[in-house]
Structure 1
């Protein structure tokens, strides 16, 4: 059974804060990549909407994801710097396909 947790976060900066948000997201991504349970943390910027960013994060399991959310850098950068710069955000959680029971 695959216990991987995948997070897809789609955030849009307030127009005047697009560059600042991009820098903060890069800093957050770099810190998150050092977490023992983080398998990947990829950050993308829209070519058509430069204020829009997408991150795709992979954690080994639910415990690793919880450790990520409890990390000092998540609180300091994610909640303290990133969130105030964001106009809209959509965060979705996924698990490995093998861990989801098939529909009857």
Structure 2
């Protein structure tokens, strides 16, 4: 059963370049994870500093492994999250 994550990240426009670069690196690293089926990063139109992430894994365990990965801790927890002004995440399973 596929496990999907949709995240909305918002940062100050001044931090957009740093967040964008970190998310692009994250995409490269995540796509090499065995359980990852998709990892897409989008800049939100007409919202400076807005990003939409679409992630899909083979199951919840794959997503948990993703969160435990060194690159997640380095790029997301340490670099991106401290720069965010807002973050919302939706989790879904295929039916």
- When normalised by structure 1's length, the TM-score is 0.87
Aligned residues: 95
Report 1:54-93 matches (<5 A).
Answer: 54-93=52-91
Asked whether the 8 Å contact 2:13–2:48 carries over to 1, the reply is no
- When normalised by structure 2's length, the TM-score is 0.95
- Which residues of structure 2 form unaligned runs of 5+? none
Are 1:12 and 2:19 an aligned pair? no
DSSP-derived class of the 1:55 partner:
strand
State the Cα RMSD in Å.
0.8
Q: Name which one, 1 or 2, has greater alpha-carbon Rg.
A: 1
